[in-house]
Structure 1
């Protein structure tokens, strides 16, 4: 096995990919089988398993080997105007929001009413003890006075827009993509470079049909799944 990173990290990466893609579930192969598969020593296999155990992906049972733990996948209803945080909290879980960037910046794609600038936010959402999504948001620059950095920590942006800026959201146009994780995003989300992400991007409009939010949200593909809700009687193509 030829690699520029430690052998145990390479073994852990391979097993992690198999777990995330659900090729591995239930009991893992024995340490001896993993030694043979990867051509490494038992100490390397044990280091790799310890890494996966620390990440909450596997659990060791005395005398029984290691087992893949069930993954808590969060279901996000794509067409809902409620953000990821509110949807997760509706399940009873607690969401943490870390503000990585905040400030008014030049923004070429800003609607003309914004004057060529935007309030830019970069936020990291976490839940169940691990990162869930990285969010890039651009808002009308006038909202900087209503949404200071300190009020955004562990809060719903849409709720704050409503309560502090009196903005009523009406609709949103959204696009969904499958993309690979690139550095430094992979590091922020706690995944390996190239790991699958679900990208949700779009524009949100208020009751006057004015654009009030442009966003891109990268979700961990192993932790979040998109769900579409359809009601009887809707017209289909």
Structure 2
């Protein structure tokens, strides 16, 4: 038998799915819903937290709980086939770009295989759908390859990608690490998502023909608005085929 929390979440989920409560609608106040379902306010909030974690409901501070409008999904194309294109299908989004100079520290020293304090160019890309944050990418490049001054903040995302492709040496390998996890407090705040909503986190290292890591990208894609596609080409051994 489902708990009261799950029963309330199921009922509200059904009302959303059948259109009785529409995207953008504000839910009744928590006090009103608690009285309607004859439960305590903490139990009602736990039920709402289930729907928030599923991405169906969002709580706007000072305004209440709203049924979320569905986000347009984008696709991360993996497998190293997209040299320089980190997220495909960006056409529906506007992307703001901020470029700054930083120093390698912590996990960046491991990703880029360089000493602590080495100068880097950080390219922060925040995707928006309308006024709503959609996706987050941090790209790091050694300053001797791409000085921060080369990538002016006024450049659009597509121009930044093209500039990176022009300046860096020929690539030999792309390594991607994919994980599903909860967002950090900073990521949840930047993307305006629930701390209970899982994200697709992609760590991408790009190396040149000499084996040097020339770029590292940290991508954060909320799970309710992203897909990932990987294609692995097979190389046929001609000698085995002839045999």
Q: TM-score, normalised by structure 1?
A: 0.63
Q: Which residue of 2 aligns with 1:77?
A: 77
- State the alpha-carbon separation in 1 of the partners of residues 216 and 161 from structure 2: 12
**Contact residue 104 and residue 117 of structure 2 kept, 8 A:** yes
Within the alignment, does 1:133 sit opposite 2:131 as a pair? Answer: no
- Give the match's secondary structure for 1:88: coil
Q: Which residue of 2 aligns with 1:223?
A: 225
TM superposition shift of 1:115: 8.6
Q: Which residue of 1 aligns with 2:100?
A: 102
TM superposition shift of 1:167: 3.2
TM superposition shift of 1:232: 6.9
TM superposition shift of 1:172: 0.5
- State the alpha-carbon separation in 2 of the partners of residues 166 and 139 from structure 1: 9
**Contact residue 173 and residue 203 of structure 1 kept, 8 A:** yes
Structure with bigger gyration radius: 2
Considering only aligned residues, what root-mean-square deviation do their CA atoms show, in Å?
4.2
Distance change in 2, residues 1:195/1:145 (3 Å): closer
Q: Which residue of 2 aligns with 1:63?
A: none
Distance change in 2, residues 1:122/1:150 (3 Å): closer
Spell out the pairing of 1:16-31 with structure 2 (5 A cutoff). Answer: 25-28=17-20
TM superposition shift of 1:174: 0.6
Q: Which residue of 1 aligns with 2:150?
A: 147
Q: TM-score, normalised by structure 2?
A: 0.62
**Contact residue 177 and residue 202 of structure 2 kept, 8 A:** yes
Q: Which residue of 1 aligns with 2:45?
A: none
Q: Which residue of 1 aligns with 2:183?
A: 181
- State the alpha-carbon separation in 1 of the partners of residues 104 and 74 from structure 2: 34
**Contact residue 199 and residue 223 of structure 2 kept, 8 A:** yes
TM superposition shift of 1:211: 1.4
Distance change in 2, residues 1:70/1:209 (3 Å): same
Q: Which residue of 2 aligns with 1:5?
A: none
- CA shift digits 1:128-186 (9 cap, x unpaired): 223232223321121216633425553454421123x2533343101001111121221
Length, aligned pairs only? 196
Q: Which residue of 2 aligns with 1:198?
A: 200
- Give the match's secondary structure for 1:184: helix
Q: Which has the higher contact order (CA 8 A, sep 6+)?
A: 2
Spell out the pairing of 1:50-65 with structure 2 (5 A cutoff). Answer: 57=68
5+ residue gaps in structure 1? Answer: 1-13, 58-68
**Contact residue 75 and residue 226 of structure 2 kept, 8 A:** yes
5+ residue gaps in structure 2? Answer: 1-7, 22-26, 42-47, 49-57, 238-243
